Amino acid sequence: MIARTLITLLVVFAGALPSGADAHGGVSIDKDPCVRKSGDWSVHFTVYEPQFNPAEEYCGDVPKAGSMIVVFDLVDQELRKVPLDLEIVKLAGSERESVQRVNSRSYPNGVINTELTVTAPGRYAAILTPEGRPAIVFPMRVEMATPVWMWLVPLVLVAPVLYYWSQRRTPPPAAAARNLALVK
């Protein structure tokens, strides 16, 4: 009984954990968390870490510091004609330190990609600035996601208490039979 309860709790808990694939699954571009807008223009932002997980895409929480590829898809045709400035910065309180800068130019094919090496975990931002428009900011948290063990430890500690509590609330079989005899 204890094992079955723990397994059920672990399965429910594991199903509730967010995964990196949740970011894009079947979402329209208007609701995609990896899309930012500047007026009528939309930009889709993706980070790849080929040395860790080549098939996975990230846009807000990047699991590991290290070498990564940052990609911007310029959704609107008009935006592809506008010169864009790209800067990736590390945020530390109100301070920002430039990590990488790409000179301003237009991207007629609609894709901006740059290779980047992030040496330390922390908060970063990719800042894409269209000429004559406000900057579009894509926040990134690198190596800051909560590890699974941080969730499992409290669960393992709480499971015995829940089991004990559930056993105290269930009447013993003899008492249940006695209560049914009184009802007749």
The amino acid present at 99, given as its one-letter code, is V
CA 92 to chain centre: 20
Rounded to 5 degrees, what angle do the CA atoms 12, 17, 21 make?
125
With a threshold of 0.85, does the pTM exceed it? no
63-120 per-position pLDDT tens digit: 999 999 999 999 999 999 999 999 999 998 889 999 999 989 999 999 999 999 999 9
Whether the predicted pLDDT of 3 surpasses 50 = no
8-39 per-position pLDDT tens digit: 444 444 444 444 444 445 556 677 888 998 88
- In 21-154, the DSSP E strands lie at 35-38, 41-49, 53-58, 61-62, 66-74, 84-92, 95-105, 111-118, 122-130, 136-142
* CA gap 22, 72 in Å, rounded: 19
Rounded to 5 degrees, what angle do the CA atoms 44, 20, 102 make?
40
CA 145 to chain centre: 8
CB 49 within 8 A of CB 55: no
**What is the C-alpha R_g of the chain?**
25
149-160 per-position pLDDT tens digit: 676 777 778 778
Place of tokens 């049914």: 180
Extract the tokens encoding 27: 């979402």
| Res. 175 pLDDT band, cuts 50 70 90 | low
